[in-house]
Amino acid sequence: MDVSNKSVLFVEDSPTMRRIIANSLRRLGFADIIEAENGIDALEKLEGNMVNLVVTDWNMPEMNGAELVKVLRSKPEFSMVPIVMITTRGMKDDVITAMKLGVNAYVIKPFTPEILKQKLDSVL
C-alpha cells in the first residue's frame, strides 16, 4: 500500500521507542510523521491538524494512550481515524479494554517491522 501521501501521528514517551517507531514508519513509506511524547502533547499537536492514522503507546505520563483514545473518539473529526496501539501491556483484559475504547489494531512490544506493516495495512 502506498502511504507516502498519508500523515501519521505517533505518541510514545520513551525516546528509544520514538526513534524506533519513527524509523519503522519512514521505512514503510510515511513521509508526514508527527511525534508526541504523551496524550496531552498529542492533543496539542492535533489542534487544527488532521491525520490519517494515530499510533500510540499505552503507558505514558500525564495522559496515557487509553485516555487519549477516549478523548479522540469523543471528537467527531477523529471518530473514524484508525488508531493502532503499540504497548507492553499484553493481558487479554487490556486488549479488550483497548478494543472497547475504539482502538483498531493492537501490537505488543517488542514488535517486528513485518507485524507493524501488517497491522497498519489492516487499518488503512
| Candidates 3-11, 12-20, 28-36, 74-82; binding stretch for other proteins (CB under 8 A) | 12-20
3-class SS at 40? helix
Q: What is the nearest approach in angstroms of other proteins to the Cβ of residue 21?
A: 9
Measured from the CB of residue 79, what is the shortest distance to other proteins in angstroms?
30
Residue 94 C-beta: closest distance to other proteins, Å: 14
Return the number of the residue (45 or 111) whose C-beta is nearest other proteins: 111
Angle at 123 between CA 82 and CA 20, to 5 degrees: 80
Among 3, 20, 43, 72, binds other proteins (CB under 8 A): 20
Of residues 26 and 100, the one with the C-beta less far from other proteins: 26
User: If binding is defined by CB under 8 A, does position 124 make contact with other proteins?
Assistant: no
Nearest residue to 98 via CA among 69, 72, 121, 78: 69
| Number of residues near other proteins (by CB under 8 A) | 16
For 92, phi and psi rounded to 5 degrees? Answer: -55, -40
Encoded amino acid at 62, one letter: E
H/E stretch holding 86 reads strand 83-87
> Do residues 101 and 80 lie in contact, with contact meaning Cβ atoms separated by under 8 Å?
no
List of residues contacting other proteins (CB under 8 A)? 14-17, 19-20, 23-24, 27, 59, 88, 109-113
